[in-house]
Amino acid sequence: MARGLRHAGCDVRPVSRTGRAAACAGAGPEAVREVEVQVEAAEPQEAPVTLRLDGKVALVTGAGSPDGIGYATARRLRDLGARVAIVSTTRRIHERAAELSITGFVADLTDEAEVGALADAVSDQLGDVEVLVNNAGLTSRASPEILRPVSQLTYDEWKSEIDRNLSTAFLCSRAFQGGMAEQGWGRIVNLAATAGPVNALPTEAAYAAAKAGVVGLTRALAMELVADGVNVNCVAPGTIYTAASTVTEIKQGLGTPIGRPGTPDEVAAAIAFLCSPAASYITGQMLVVDGGNSVREAEFR
């Protein structure tokens, strides 16, 4: 139930940037008015009911594939007015950047030093990053997911999946959060997956563990940065049709309640919303984009 104030006996706790809280409990009109004033003071000066990102500097990681989620997200953020930079591990990122008329960088985001160098380079060329989309880590033909049961999974393979899918989000978030906090506004959107936070399949323990970790990182970071005006959320795609999709994955998509796999553009739309000023009251959340597959209890067709 969403109300600005409840009846006497309530506990209203608007939190300001200083972290102070006000409460009323069976108080009279003067105390209630004091709470109302503090609620009004905690509200934004202007209602940010817009999807536009005009002038904001946005960085999208893992955008090297022309038909992937990262590329679709970069295109959408550009169309919303953001000044966009993209990064991947190979020089093909410059082709994607040229196609979108944006800026491209090459970096290994599992390497702490390279992430630091990336942060400096983006700041020098575009300014402080205000929107960060941690998409790097989703599987591709160039770096396929390691599919092996735990009994056969080597420790190096385990670490590789964790580094690619979780450590990248940690390193990039750590590198760019400070600038956002100093400005008093920012958006971080991490890419999780339904595998791990919602469900799992045999042979994908490392990937599922990493993506579940992305949700935990998202929630913890959201609480750390909420007083600084920085919102942190994650999107969990289900089966999404890209050039890297296997026949098995496509069949899984056809079996969803909607009856088809999702598209990168549909995931990008969810990401872009969470990046926008319109998502000002949403933080620490996971938005599932899976055609209703995680909701269905049993096959009904």
Q: Which residues are catalytic?
A: 207
127 φψ region: left (φ > 0), alpha (ψ -120 to 50), beta (else) = left
Give the C-alpha separation, 69 to 90, whole Å: 17
What pairing do the DSSP bridges indicate for beta strands 131-134 and 103-106?
A: unpaired
CA distances from 79 to 55, 113, 230, 289 (A): 11, 31, 22, 22
Contact of 180 with 186, CB cutoff 8 Å? yes
Q: Which two tokens stand for residue 179?
A: 């600038």
Give the C-alpha separation, 29 to 24, whole Å: 10
Q: Which two tokens stand for residue 86?
A: 């993209």
Beta strands in 171-220 (DSSP E): 186-191
Which residues touch 12 (CB under 8 Å, ≥6 apart)?
A: 5, 6, 22, 23, 24, 35, 39
The candidate with the shortest Cα–Cα distance to 299, out of 252, 240, 236, 246, is 252
Cα angle vertex 48, ends 47, 54, to 5°? 145
Give the C-alpha separation, 164 to 211, whole Å: 10
CA 156 to chain centre: 27
Which phi and psi (to 5°) does residue 225 adopt?
-110, 0
